[in-house]
Amino acid sequence: MTAVQGYTLADVHALCERYNNWGRWGDDDQIGTLNHVEPHMITAAGALAKQGKVISCALPYDQNGPQNGWGGRVNPLYFMLQDGGDAAIGAQDHMAGLRYADDAVYMPLQSGTQWDALSHVFYEGKMYNGYGLENVSSTGAKRNGIHLTAEKVVGRGVLLDIPRHRGVDWLEPGDGIGSEELAACAERQGVRVGKGDFVLVRTGAMAAVRAKGTWGDYSAGDAPGLNLDSTHWVCENEIAGLATDTWGMEVRPNEITEIFQPLHVVLLVNVGLMVGEIFDLEKLADDCAGDGVYEFLFVAGPLPFTGAVGSPLNPLAIK
């Protein structure tokens, strides 16, 4: 199944207008669809942790990551501030008895497994809830910063394993995933998706990278992903967040040429949806296929960098 073709700029604008959430939760809202998550949903999600099984969906943050310099994004640079050598040569002798090691990291906040903040994308000078470009400056985001979601990304998680649904190892670049297939995959897996859920969509991109032994053009290249038609299923189910195992969540090549990443314009700018990318869903997918359980407690708060437009994280599926 390939990406739906034939979309026009007018079609994208129509999706933006139809599912626009600006003002839905007030003129000052800055967390978008995370408003769908209610306290009783979190307590119900806690009951899904029945086996004591914790599965990380994060890619390791190291020099073996997917980045190739696109947009200034590089893989994390890790280095030591103090190590055993410093202690051995007496650099820490000013301290009585104790010796220590310290380390540091430089990384673009979206170089690995990450959430997009609602301040990440603008269209026609606006980001989610109508806030203008002036709200993101060299000092960070004054509106829609990722730190505002630090306590909000907890609830029921659902994995939709599209390759297993199709009977393939992974989807190919340009393969789009639409509303009908998302619904069919959920039905086949025997899982219901609804308001306040966090949906993880596996394309098998990580499996393809590992089988080929190279990241290739994973970063910013052609990829499988959600197509514009998926907007209907995503919005009508009122999910709280969506994450995939690809660099950019949506199918590439993009379905129209007038907008780079048009689904970001629909879902981030207009819907206010929490979007995650570069999730490693392979271990979780194998586990779900093994026990037939595709729902879990999902705990995936971003690091609360004040005013950041994205953040790394260690998303946990707890079964």
**Separation of alpha carbons 152 and 247, rounded Å:** 23
Neighbours of 150 (CB within 10 A): 14
**Separation of alpha carbons 236 and 226, rounded Å:** 15
Domain ranges of the chain: 9-70+109-318, 77-106
Instruction: Render pLDDT for 272-297 as a digit per residue (tens, 0 to 9).
Output: 999 999 999 999 999 999 999 999 99
Please name the helix (run of DSSP H) or strand (run of DSSP E) that holds residue 153, with its range, or none.
Answer: none
Q: Where are the alpha helices (DSSP H) in the chain?
A: 9-18, 39-46, 84-88, 162-166, 179-189, 205-212, 230-236, 262-264, 282-291
* Per-residue pLDDT, 6: 80
Q: Report the interhelical angle of 282-291 vs 205-212 (nearest 10°).
A: 110
Q: How far apart are the first and last CA of the chain?
A: 31
* Per-residue pLDDT, 40: 98
**Separation of alpha carbons 221 and 214, rounded Å:** 13
* Per-residue pLDDT, 295: 98
* Per-residue pLDDT, 5: 57
What mean pLDDT value characterizes the chain? 96
pLDDT in tens, the chain (319 residues): 344 458 999 999 999 999 999 999 999 999 999 999 999 999 999 999 999 999 999 999 999 999 999 999 999 999 999 999 999 999 999 999 999 999 999 999 999 999 999 999 999 999 999 999 999 999 999 999 999 999 999 999 999 999 999 999 999 999 999 999 999 999 999 999 999 999 999 999 999 999 999 999 999 999 999 999 999 999 999 999 999 999 999 999 999 999 999 999 999 999 999 999 999 999 999 999 999 999 999 999 999 999 999 999 999 999 9
Instruction: Render pLDDT for 143-181 as a digit per residue (tens, 0 to 9).
Output: 999 999 999 999 999 999 999 999 999 999 999 999 999
**Separation of alpha carbons 291 and 175, rounded Å:** 28
Superfamily assignment of 9-70+109-318 in CATH? Putative cyclase (3.50.30.50)
